[in-house]
Amino acid sequence: MIPELEKRFSEAEQRYEELGRRLEDPAVYSDVEKSAAIARERAQLEEQVRGWRKYRAMQAALEDAQEMLHDNEMRELAQEEIDELKQQMELLEEHLYKLAVPPDPMDKKNIFLEIRAGTGGEEAALFAAELLRMYTRYAAQKGWQIEIVSMNSTGLGGVKEVIAQVSGKRVYSFLKYESGTHRVQRVPKTEAGGRIHTSAVTVAVMPEVEDVDVEIRPEDIQVDVFRSSGAGGQHVNRTDSAVRITHIPTGFVVTCQDERSQHQNKAKALAVLRSRLYQKEREEQEARMALERKTQVGSGDRSEKVRTYNFPQNRLTDHRVGLTLYKLDQVMDGDLDEVIKALQAHFHRLAVESIKAEGLAETD
């Protein structure tokens, strides 16, 4: 095991013991809120500490067995024990590396889901609408709430652009790897010749952030109000309740007109803008880290084709993990769990490999 990881687990053990002592303090014990917070932090460290202690116990047993090799009568038995301990330690070490991957602080966040029709004209817009339906059904399975913030529809039932807010338990941890270009291959409804066309839709998943996470200066934005159109009844068409916010430094534009009041639309548009700015900074930071490490452990490069939906073959392929499923109809109906779990495992494995690579670089 690399020294940096040993240091990390030793510090975790020290912190674990310190928290245990604090819980025994009468002053802390009598404070329900404080003691609950300490107990939660200690519980988060427990698996790491338990694994680290087991690993050290195996190290001690290995050293004892190696000493026994000098005894001619015990040599064969000692070698068997050494081989078994090394095998167990190798498995445990791999588990400890997985535990060492720091949790993403954004995983517990709600998200803004942005779907945009790309190349392919009306066919791309129709597929964007189907992706929205897919995510909506997946959200229903998870017990999440989904609310449309803004939508630009086409006359044939397609969607040029839609932004939806998805709220629930650990939404970002499930959907963060959906960002990227989604490619569809099928015979469009508008194609009379029966030829297969390829279209593309981009998906962006942005964690919902608080005011303290991203500062938006008043002088950096331009706010325009206008009369709402589309669904919402007569009320929204009689007042200038729709809001368009332009972030001057980046050129980001956010429009919201689904709420009845101008104040509500402005608040929601600012929330979307804040998430976009946070995601931009996050992607730039990950790109800088990738340049330094020569490998990227981040998520969702939007310029990359991440997934292909082939309707004639009922096939879905996620190019990042090499996963191919011949049940596209079920996936489009919201059965995304197998794909999501494969992505989570893949990117977690990349993070583990990154920790190992960094440790080896430090020891060279």
Is 173 in the same domain as 309? Answer: yes
pTM over 0.85: no
pLDDT of amino acid 240: 74
CATH code for the domain of 25: 1.20.58
Is 130 in the same domain as 196? Answer: yes
Residue 298 placed within a domain: no
pLDDT of amino acid 18: 94
Is 178 in the same domain as 314? Answer: yes
∠ CA 325-164-128, rounded to 5°: 45
CATH code for the domain of 235: 3.30.160.20
Q: For each of the chain's 364 residues, which pLDDT tens digit applies?
A: 777 788 889 999 999 999 999 999 888 888 888 899 899 889 989 999 999 999 999 999 999 999 999 888 899 999 999 999 999 999 998 888 888 888 888 899 999 999 999 988 899 999 999 999 999 999 999 999 999 988 999 888 899 999 999 999 999 999 999 999 999 999 887 666 678 889 999 999 988 887 656 778 889 999 998 876 654 444 444 567 889 999 999 999 998 887 778 888 888 888 899 888 888 887 776 666 454 443 323 333 344 689 999 999 999 999 999 999 999 999 999 999 999 999 999 998 888 888 777 665 555 5
Residue 187: domain span: 106-208+303-364
Query: Which of residues 100, 125, 142 is at a domain's end?
Result: 100
Query: Which of residues 76, 100, 124 is at a domain's end?
Result: 100
CATH code for the domain of 156: 3.30.70.1660
209-221 core/surface letters (b: 16 or more CB in 10 A; e: else): beeeebeeeeeeb
Query: Which of residues 233, 262, 293 is at a domain's end?
Result: 293
**pLDDT, tens digit, for every residue of 228-250?**
665 444 444 456 788 999 999 99
Question: In whole angstroms, what is the distance from residue 151 CA to residue 164 CA?
Answer: 9
Domain tally, the chain = 3
Is 89 in the same domain as 173? Answer: no
CA distances to 69, 73, 165 from 79, in Å: 7, 12, 60
Is 221 in the same domain as 118? Answer: no
